[in-house]
A and B are shown apart, each in its own frame.
Chain A
Amino acid sequence: MQFGIFSVGDVTTDPTTGKTPTEHERIQAILAIARKAEEVGLDVFATGEHHNPPFVPSSPTTMLGFLAAQTNRILLSTSTTLITTNDPVKIAEDFAMLQHISGGRVDLMMGRGNTGPVYPWFGKDIRDGISLAIENYALLHRLWREDFVDWEGKFRTPLQGFQSTPRPLDGIAPFVWHGSIRSPQIAEQAAYYGDGFFHNNIFWPQQHTAQMINLYRERYEHYGHGPAAHAIVGVGGQVFMRKNSQAAKDEFRPYFNNAPVYGHGPSMEEFTEQTPLTVGSPQEVIDRYAAQQELYGDYQRQLFLMDHAGLPLKTVLEQLDLLGEEVVPVLRREFAAKRAPGVPDAPTHASLLAASGTVSQAIAPQNDPTYDTGFGVTGIAPGAATLASLDAESGR
């Protein structure tokens, strides 16, 4: 089971001080939060992608590339990567590059985005949202798995014999999650490919989240990837903790009451009842999240939103200490104890590499014959194939 954090990347005024971080301060804070996540033993850091203020992370692989250099172990991911408005060719290239830079510590989550104008800003039509997600991912999936791609679709210019570069590390595509809150089509898409399905969960009753997850599980089995109980599921959540439950509530309340996404609507008590937001002691967080296993089945990834509502960096770092030291170790034990035998972990580069039976390019000598493909590029073309013979085979 992987535990991590996901950041929306909003610049929000701290309601208790009236201070608003600059974009630069916020970006530096996100980097500090990601480093801290590794330090406290979390497994995943994921960043959102946005193209309008007050959000700063418009360029996820720039941020994650920098973090790859500053961390050693943590998996770098997204929440989400806009499969609708980004060119799938650029996604293929950016994340393959990030794989090489980070030594394979990369996966990513596809999403459609929730900001309508992003579509026209990037020359797309929001009414095509689902169709874009389907077609663009179909291309992305091929670009990482086929050395030369002929492509013609509805939404981007055709490709003839196109090779995205660099090729995925060790010829293994980054593992992909598909994030969706309320679109069964996306659960279906994730199931079709045998990819992971992530429900952000944070604004929804758990019953709703369970229905989406169950649909994905059912279809995962339908497509022959394995039993429904072995499908790869991720879930979001958000918490605020202090040792003392009442102290947590008192401290977080002004943030809740004023946060753009929470405030001025339901009370904090109503909101915590209806969503996974948990404000209280570490033990309350443990109890609430451990119980999710019963609702969602054995799942593979739990991400927490911790830098929300304008909380200052210092507070977020304290929260991560509590999460890493007091909550996650217990959750790991509790989830593991209840987990049914045979349920797989979320795939990582290492596990996919092991399953493929090859040796990592990142650790193999440069002249390892496994990768002597004749054109020394991909590491996945078989044996003595040459560029010329591949061309001949494909009729070009």
Chain B
Amino acid sequence: MTARRIAVISAGLSEPSSTRQLADALARASAIELERGGEAAEIEVIELRHIAPDVLNGLLTGTHAAPLANALRVVEDADAVIAVTPIFSTSYSGLFKMFVDLIDRDALTGTPVILGATAGTPRHSLAIDYAIRPIFAYLHADVVPTGVFAATADWGGQGTDAEGLPGRIARAARELAGKLAGSAPRSFRELPAASESAAGEIVAGGAAVPGSEGADSGTARAGGSPSAPRPTASLGGAASRAFDGGFVPMGDLLPH
């Protein structure tokens, strides 16, 4: 059985952060839902804080330090993405958007995505829908209907929603698992592995998620090694942002 690769993007600025906490909770819940359907999850967490200078340099000069290149590869190869950002000044954080801007614009087409956001006040609770969802609509991602917003009060169970934060997390996870059910894993999109030290924090298997005992079973990557070399990719398609589209054989482009 092939594990479903879930890339988790966490844009929290502090360590630990409530953004990472929400990201981990969503990952854990998704792994549990997948397991319920008889599938394993392989969670790979990208803590943007750890690669922030590389992200900035990538935008400024186009250079891709190995940790950034690997983080992008993880996202672009994922079967599903969980993206969580703090809300600053009514919108996603700058770091979150800078990273998203480096993702190949075709790479997330059809990819199931959970959007999450954290903030100090419930007044930002619609930010997912007016600010973040449009970005992923542009990227043609398949975003689940439930966006999970967590204000500070939600962590204490005093949120405004009767369902509560755990309920919303579980619902989003069910929606994600539902989208993945029956679809083929994206193993055909493999790219050459970058050198070992990956994105800020990329760990194969549920071990990356604190307290994820339930998700641990059957989460090992085939071959058991997270840094096992992957086959060389063909260029083009959505395989990597480094290439601008694929190619059409010249004979098909020219008249006669």
Contacts and interface: CB of A to CB of B under 8 A. Distances in A.
Contacts of B60: 264-266
Contact of B235 (A134, A138, A211, A271): A211
Contact of B63 (A185, A203, A207, A264): A203
Interface in A258-275: 261-262, 264-266, 270-271, 274-275
B94 interface: no
Interface string A194-218: 0000000001110110011001000
A184 B250 CA distance: 11
A191 to B, nearest CB: 8
- The majority secondary structure among interface residues of chain A is helix
A261 B61 contact: yes
Interface in A142-196: 153, 182-185, 187-189, 192
A5 B245 CA distance: 30
Given A134-B253, A138-B254, A184 B63 contact: no
Interface residues of B, number: 26
A184 B60 CA distance: 24
A188 B249 contact: yes
B61 A184 contact: no
A185 B56 contact: no
B160 interface: no
B62 A184 contact: no
Nearest to B232: A211
B137 interface: no
Contacts of B236: 184
A134 to B, nearest CB: 5
B130 interface: no
A265 B255 CA distance: 45
Interface in A290-310: none
Contacts of B211: none
B140 to A, nearest CB: 18
B249 A134 contact: no
A233 to B, nearest CB: 16
Contact of A208 (B242, B246, B250, B254): B242
A271 B243 contact: no
B61 A271 contact: yes
Nearest to A188: B247
A274 B64 contact: yes
A205 B61 contact: no
Given A211-B235, A212-B235, A274 B245 contact: no
B63 A266 contact: yes
A264 B244 CA distance: 26
A47 B16 CA distance: 52
A183 to B, nearest CB: 5
B63 A270 contact: yes
Interface string A123-135: 0000000100010
Given A182-B242, A182-B243, A188 B250 contact: yes
Nearest to A273: B65
Nearest to B194: A207
Contacts of B61: 203, 261-262, 265-266, 271
Contacts of A275: 63
Given A211-B235, A215-B235, A265-B56, A274 B243 contact: no
A270 B57 CA distance: 10
A130 B247 CA distance: 10
A195 to B, nearest CB: 11
B244 A266 contact: no
Contacts of B254: 134, 138
Contacts of A138: 254
Contact of A184 (B56, B247, B251): B247
A341 B97 CA distance: 51
B162 interface: no
Contact of A182 (B53, B69, B244): B244
B247 A185 contact: yes
A372 B62 CA distance: 55
A383 to B, nearest CB: 28
B244 A183 contact: yes
Contacts of A185: 245-248
Contact of A270 (B65, B243, B247, B248): B65
Interface in B101-145: none
Contacts of A130: 245
Nearest to A211: B235
B42 to A, nearest CB: 25
Contacts of B235: 184, 211-212, 215
A183 B250 CA distance: 14
Interface in B204-256: 235-236, 242-251, 253-255
A261 B63 CA distance: 11
B63 A274 contact: yes
A212 B247 CA distance: 12
Contacts of B243: 182-184, 211-212
A205 B70 CA distance: 13
6 contacts: A184-B235, A185-B245, A188-B247, A212-B235, A266-B63, A274-B63
Interface of A: 130, 134, 138, 153, 182-185, 187-189, 192, 203-205, 207-208, 211-212, 215, 223, 261-262, 264-266, 270-271, 274-275
Given A185-B248, A215-B235, A270-B57, 17 more contacts: A134-B254, A182-B242, A182-B243, A182-B244, A183-B245, A184-B235, A184-B246, A185-B245, A188-B250, A211-B242, A211-B243, A261-B61, A265-B57, A266-B53, A266-B61, A266-B65, A271-B61
